[in-house]
Amino acid sequence: MDKLVIQGGAPLRGAIAVSGSKNAALPILMASILAEEPITYTNVPRLRDIFTTNKLLAILGCPAEFDGHTVTVTPCDLKPEAPYDLVKTMRASVLCLGPLLARLGEARVALPGGCAIGARPVDLHLTALEKMGATFDLDSGYIQGHCKKLRGAHIHFDFPTVGGTENLLMAATLAEGETVLENVAREPEVVDLANFLIACGAKIEGHGSSIIKVQGVSRLGGCEYRIMPDRIEAGTFMVAAGITGGDLLLTDCPFEELEAVIAKLRDMGLVIEREGARDVRVTHNGHLRARDVTTRPFPGFPTDMQAQIMALMTIASGAGVVEETIFENRFMHVPELVRMGADVKLSGHTAVVRGVQRLIGAPVMASDLRASASLVLAGLAAQGETHVQRIYHLDRGYERIEEKLNAVGARITRMPE
C-alpha cells in the first residue's frame, strides 16, 4: 500500500487540466450493456473504479479496451452475473442491474455491502424496477432479478437518488411504452448519461429537471461520446488554490455544474473567474472567511465537496457550521484534521469548524475518497510534513493527483507505507 508524503506551505501556481468525470463515466460505461453496436468513449479518466468497470463489462459479455483516455466497448454474448469479487470493491457495480434486466430479462448482481460513509442501501432502485415488472429475491448474497419484458411505469422516488435515477433511466430506454420518473436526481452526471443514451437512439425528455420521461425503443445502437469533465476534481483543485494562497488556471473546467461550490468559495474569499469558454482561474483575495455549508442534492452544495471545503475552513477566520444531509457517517476526515491542529467539534450530522492560524503536518489516515482529498489539501497548507496513509481510496477517484499537483508547485512524494 502507498502513502503520500506532502511538504506543505508551497502556493500552487500554473495550469491543471481537469480529467473526465468518474461519476459520469461509471454509469455511461455500464450503459454499453444496452447497446447492440460498438461504442467509443473519449475523455475517460484512468482510475481504479473505471478499470474495475471495464473488468465487469468484460465478465458481462461487453469487452472494453482502454487506449489512453479512450475506451471502446464491443457488445457480444451478454451474461447476467456480476460477481461479488468485483462488486465488493465498487458499489457502483449495481448500475448494471437496470441494463441487464432491460436486455436479458434477468440479472444476478452481488449485493454491495455497507461502505465507509454509511449503509448506502439500494432499496429505491429495487422498488422502482419492481414497478416496471421485475421481481427480485436474495440468494447467497446476490440480488436475483427477473422480468419478461420491462414495461413503462410511473415512478416517484422518495429521495432523488443518483444511482437509482441512473439505473431506472437505463432500464426505461428499452422498456415497453412510456416511463415517467419523478423526484429524480438532477445531477450533471445524470444529464450526461441521458445525453449519451439519446446519442445511442433513446427517447428521453426532461433530464436535468426533477421529472424525466422516457419512451421505450426496441434497440439502441452505438456512438462516439465524450465524457463530461469532473466537477468534483475541479472543485478540489479550486480549494487547493485557495488553501495554498495560489493561482491556478483549470482547463476544461465545468462552471454551471459547480455553481453552488463556486458561490460558497467566493463567499469565503476566493476569486473565481471564467477564462474563455472552458477554463477557470482561481486566486485568492488574501483573506479567508469561514461560512456555513449544508450538503444537498444538486443544484445544492454537493456532499462530494464537503470534506474538501471543511479543510479550507480549518484555516479561515471565524467559525462555520458544516451540515451533512446526504450520507450518515461522512465525517471521518474530522479526527484526522484535528490531528493536524484543526478545531472541529462534531455533533451528529453537524460539524462546527473554528479557523486556526495554521495546520501542522502529521501522519493521517485516509478513510474514503473525498476524505482522502481533504487530507491532501490540508497537507498542502500545513507547516511541515504530512503523511497521508491508505491512499488507495484517492486512486479510485483522482487521476495522477500528485503528478498534477506537483506540476504546479506542490511537493508530494508517493512511497510505500
Q: Which residues of this protein are in contact with ligand UD1, per CB under 6 A? A: 23, 26, 92, 118, 120-125, 159, 161-164, 189, 302-304, 326-327
| Least distance from ligand UD1 to the Cβ atom of residue 411, Å | 29
Give the whole-angstrom CA distance, residue 185 versus residue 166. 9
CB nearer ligand UD1, residue 23 or residue 244:
23
> ∠ CA(149), CA(155), CA(158), 5° rounding?
135
CB of residue 27 vs ligand UD1: minimum separation in angstroms?
Answer: 7
Does residue 5 contact residue 386 with C-beta atoms inside 8 Å? yes
Name beta bridge partners: 233: none
Between 43 and 161, CB nearer to ligand UD1: 161
DSSP per-residue string spanning 214-230: EE--S-B---EEEPPB-
Contact 97, 106 (CB under 8 A): no
Residues near 263 by beta carbon (within 8 Å), at least 6 away in sequence: none
Q: Give the residue at shortest CB distance from ligand UD1.
A: 163
Nearer to ligand UD1, 237 or 301 (CB): 301
CB of 297 to ligand UD1, least distance (A): 7
Calculate the dihedral angle through the C-alpha atoms of 67, 68, 69, 71, rounding to the nearest 10 degrees.
0
Catalytic hit among 96, 115, 147, 223: 115
Decide: 283 and 271 in contact? Cβ < 8 Å. Answer: yes
What is the chain's alpha carbon radius of gyration, rounded to the nearest angstrom? 21
In the complex, minimum distance from the CB of residue 194 to ligand UD1, in angstroms, rounded to a whole number? 14
163 vs 235, beta carbon nearer ligand UD1: 163
Nearer CB in complex with ligand UD1: 311/410 = 311
- Minimum distance, C-beta of residue 7 to ligand UD1, in the bound complex (Å): 30
Smallest distance from ligand UD1 to CB 171, Å: 14
Helix spans in 305-368 (H):
306-313, 333-339
Pick the closer one to ligand UD1 by CB: 131 or 411.
Answer: 131
Give the residue with the Cβ less far from ligand UD1, 122 or 311: 122
Q: Is 115 one of the annotated active-site residues of the chain? A: yes
Torsion of CA 139, 145, 146, 147, to 10 degrees: 160
Burial state string for 80-93 with b = 16 or more CB within 10 A and e = fewer than 16: bbbbbebbeebbbb
CA dist 162 to 154, 176, 190, Å? 18, 23, 7
Smallest distance, ligand UD1 to C-beta of residue 373, A:
12
C-alpha 183/C-alpha 210 separation (Å) is 5
Residues in Cβ contact with 354 at an 8 Å cutoff, skipping those fewer than 6 apart: 290, 318, 319, 343, 344
How far CA 362 is from CA of 22, 351, 358, 359, in Å, comes to 29, 21, 13, 9
Active-site residue set: 115
